[in-house]
Amino acid sequence: MDILSKIRAADLKGCGGAAYPTADKWQAVKDAFGPRKYVICNASEGEPMVFKDGYILKNWPAKVVDGIIVAIDFLKEHGVEVEGYIFINPEYAKKFGRFLANEIQKRNAPISLYVKPEEGGYICGEESAILNTIEGNKSEPRLRPPFPTQKGLWGEPTIINNVETFYHVAKIAEGTYETVRFYSVNGDCKNPGVYKHRADRTIKEIIAITKNWPKFDFFVQVGGGSAGEILNQHQLSATPTGAMSLTLYRTSEWTARELFRHWIGFFLIESCGQCVPCREGTYRLYETINVKNPDWKLFFDLLDDLSETSFCGLGLSVPTAIKSYIKNVLLNAELNIKDADKEKIKNLNFKI
């Protein structure tokens, strides 16, 4: 069986959050015309509460490099030249860069480390922003289509996968693949950390198996500490999604206002400023929430504007945590939530 069939048989999906089928992405790049092609390993993990790629780089740098080499070999045919990059955030470069460089050197592989600029921020890790950054342009997302599989780095077809995906590719290639995923468990819990478990585990099972099930009332943010969806403790029978992080919040410790500030504050800092809805919207949202009596109607209008008109996933995802918290926790009739803003939000009857 060739490597593409093996990846397809393993049903491997991208582990960075979008969960796009890896075999389909690789096939699209293989089929696209180009005298040069590129493979980029996205090691820029930067969403709050997501640490799993760092854990993999620390423990298995050789596997990550092997996975990239598998992709490079897959694309090499009929004289096509293929080059690889590891696009790595400065913290990981400092901690794991020399291990990766050693593994690259041992294999004499055509792979370069590219350290994400300090000032690039979170959005610099978005796949089309990575292309702009490596090409020396402003670190902001590109309009798609064309997708990187067709016109990626320097306009050539490009595979972009994250660290965990390449780790699994290496395991598939050597015949040791297990259907597992890496979960970052954190927040108000006793045993925070990164755990490797079967991919079909439910959220509830992962929290329990890792001995993190709290004795207090809690809710969970699933898939990332800024853009992840909020579920209450009775809604945890699904498998996790996105970047596979599970952040626990002690219900009594957080008011709606504190949570909204916490989430919006991240987006405000990380907005690249390219489009008006996100650049102005995050600023106005933060401003709205930071007065004694917020204009809640304006607040929810702004959220709708962001989700309907933002240019990229960062702006589009600003409302996710806020709206799911309101729906699944704050206004859930079965949960006893005391919050000064609850009635005001409830009376607005806004769409979720």
Which residues, at least 6 apart from 280, have a Cβ–Cβ distance to it below 8 Å? none
Q: What is the DSSP string of 76-88?
A: --TT-EEEEEEEE
Considering the complex, what minimum distance in angstroms separates the CB of residue 267 from ligand SF4? 8
Question: Among 128, 158, 184, 274, which residue interacts with ligand SF4 (rule: CB under 6 A)?
Answer: 274
Task: Count residues binding ligand SF4 (CB under 6 A).
Answer: 15
Report if residue 273 touches ligand SF4, rule: CB under 6 A: yes
Task: List residues bridging with 81 in a β-sheet.
Answer: 36
Considering the complex, what minimum distance in angstroms separates the CB of residue 270 from ligand SF4? 7
**Which is nearer to ligand SF4, 185 or 272 (by Cβ)?**
272
Question: What is the torsional sign of CA 140, 143, 144, 147?
Answer: negative
Report if residue 275 touches ligand SF4, rule: CB under 6 A: yes
**Which is nearer to ligand SF4, 210 or 282 (by Cβ)?**
282
314 CA to centre of own chain = 10
Considering the complex, what minimum distance in angstroms separates the CB of residue 314 from ligand SF4? 4
304 vs 320: CA distance, rounded Å: 11
310 vs 216: CA distance, rounded Å: 37
Other beta carbons less than 10 A from residue 191's beta carbon: 10
**Which is nearer to ligand SF4, 29 or 123 (by Cβ)?**
123
Query: Is residue 182 a contact partner of residue 242, using CB atoms and an 8 Å limit?
Result: no
Report if residue 117 touches ligand SF4, rule: CB under 6 A: no
Report if residue 141 touches ligand SF4, rule: CB under 6 A: yes
Instruction: Say how many Å lie between the first and final Cα of the chain, rounded.
Output: 47
Question: Among 87, 260, 311, 325, which residue interacts with ligand SF4 (rule: CB under 6 A)?
Answer: 311
Q: Which of 350, 347, 326 is nearest to 337 (CA)?
A: 326
**Which is nearer to ligand SF4, 244 or 314 (by Cβ)?**
314
**Which is nearer to ligand SF4, 122 or 166 (by Cβ)?**
122
Q: Environment class of residue 11 by beta-carbon count within 10 Å: exposed (0-12), middle (13-18) or buried (19+)?
A: exposed
**Which is nearer to ligand SF4, 42 or 274 (by Cβ)?**
274
Alpha carbons within 13 A on the beta-carbon side of 35: 0
Question: Among 71, 272, 322, 330, which residue interacts with ligand SF4 (rule: CB under 6 A)?
Answer: 272
Question: Among 50, 170, 314, 337, which residue interacts with ligand SF4 (rule: CB under 6 A)?
Answer: 314
Report if residue 248 touches ligand SF4, rule: CB under 6 A: no
Considering the complex, what minimum distance in angstroms separates the CB of residue 312 from ligand SF4? 3
Considering the complex, what minimum distance in angstroms separates the CB of residue 287 from ligand SF4? 17
- Candidates 64-72, 73-81, 183-191, 270-278: pick the segment binding ligand SF4 (CB under 6 A): 270-278
Report if residue 278 touches ligand SF4, rule: CB under 6 A: yes
Other beta carbons less than 10 A from residue 21's beta carbon: 14
160 CA to centre of own chain = 13
Q: In what order do the strands lie in the sheet with 218-222?
A: 193-198, 180-187, 245-250, 218-222, 229-232
- Candidates 22-30, 36-44, 183-191, 274-282: pick the segment binding ligand SF4 (CB under 6 A): 274-282
Report if residue 26 touches ligand SF4, rule: CB under 6 A: no
Interaction site with ligand SF4 (CB under 6 A): 123, 140-141, 271-275, 278-279, 310-312, 314-315
